[in-house]
């Protein structure tokens, strides 16, 4: 059962969507503020978020930014009365996958939700880079034919690299996407886990795939010869 989180301070909207989406077979959680929505998303990660822009406290753009700093692949559909091009451009710039303007037809919204979930499922298929294979659903990782035993954090770290191969990721980006925006510990924890992950990836003498760019960050890249 796919989990949908609706973040909207209009009880009429949340009630309508809870009833309609539950009838369609979804598990639905609702939040009346951005802060409440972020707490729910952290404790029970959703498969898709329906997000209003005009919220008490932090607005929808900031909520979207924080959601994607933790999970850049989370599909977020904006549902709002704000219909200016600037609002839409800003939302898409923060990574929104769709933008529906109120008032709306439930059938149209449902079709868009289903389309976004199909795209998300396609992205959750096996990831490959060089001789690495990662299965998001089963949490299995292979280097060639060798299966690696990774901790949950090591798996999330490698998953983050494999979703963004050959992109340089700073320590801060890795902290936000792997540990979460509410992590306030020592940033050197990234070095510790990269070292542990490398040891497992290179346990049988395989060439290094996670490269260090000193003063910049890390990148999943085959080293040129």
Asked if pLDDT for residue 181 goes beyond 80, the answer is: no
Q: Which is more confidently placed, 118 or 63?
A: 63
User: Which alpha helices (DSSP H) does 57-136 contain, by range?
Assistant: 60-70, 85-93, 106-123
Taking phi over 0 as left and psi of -120 to 50 as alpha, with beta for the rest, 207 belongs to beta
185, pLDDT greater than 50 = yes
Q: Is the pLDDT of residue 218 over 90?
A: yes
10-14, 30-34, 187-191, 212-216: which range is least confident on average? 187-191
Average pLDDT for residues 95-123, to the nearest whole number? 88
| Residue 64 to residue 62: CA distance in whole angstroms | 5
Distance CA 127, CA 158 (A): 11
Does position 225 have pLDDT exceeding 50, yes or no? no
- Cis (ω within 30 of 0) for the bond into 103? yes
The mean pLDDT value of the chain amounts to 90
Helix H or strand E segment including 179:
none
Quick check: pTM over 0.85? no
Contact 45, 180 (CB under 8 A): no
Check residue 121 and give its pLDDT: 74
What is the average pLDDT across 142-167?
A: 92
Query: Is the model more confident about 74 or about 32?
Result: 32
Mean pLDDT of 178-191: 77
pLDDT at 136: 82
Q: Which of 11, 16, 18, 15 minimizes the C-alpha distance to 3?
A: 18
CA distance 214 to 219: 11
Residue 14 pLDDT: 96
Backbone φ, ψ for residue 201 (5° rounding):
-70, -30
Cα-Cα-Cα-Cα torsion 127, 65, 184, 211, nearest 10 degrees, comes to 40
pLDDT for position 138: 78
Percent of the chain with pLDDT over 70: 96
pLDDT digits (tens, 9 = 90+) for 17-58: 999 999 999 999 999 999 999 999 988 889 999 999 999 999
Q: What integer pLDDT is reported at residue 166 of this predicted model? A: 93
**Model confidence at 160: pLDDT above 60:** yes
């Amino acid at each position: 059962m796919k989990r949908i989180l609706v973040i909207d301070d209009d009880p009429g909207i949340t009630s309508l969507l809870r009833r309609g989406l539950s009838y369609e077979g979804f598990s639905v959680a609702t939040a009346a503020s951005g802060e409440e929505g972020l707490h729910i998303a952290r404790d029970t990660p959703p498969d898709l978020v329906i997000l209003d822009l005009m919220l008490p406290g932090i607005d929808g753009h900031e909520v979207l930014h924080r959601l994607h700093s933790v999970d850049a692949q989370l599909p977020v559909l904006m549902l709002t009365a704000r219909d200016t091009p600037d609002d839409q451009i800003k939302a898409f710039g923060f990574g929104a996958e769709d933008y529906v303007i109120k008032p709306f037809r439930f059938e149209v919204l449902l079709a868009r939700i289903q389309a976004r979930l199909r795209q998300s499922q396609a992205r959750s298929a096996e990831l490959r880079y060089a001789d690495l294979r990662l299965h998001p659903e089963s949490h299995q990782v292979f280097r060639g034919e060798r299966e690696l035993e990774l901790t949950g954090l090591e798996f999330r770290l490698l998953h983050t690299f494999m979703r963004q191969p050959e992109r340089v990721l700073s320590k801060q980006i890795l902290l936000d996407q792997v540990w979460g925006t509410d992590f306030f510990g020592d940033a050197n924890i990234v070095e510790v886990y990269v070292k542990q992950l490398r040891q497992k990836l290179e346990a049988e003498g395989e060439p290094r795939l996670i490269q260090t760019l000193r003063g910049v960050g890390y990148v999943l890249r085959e080293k040129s010869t």
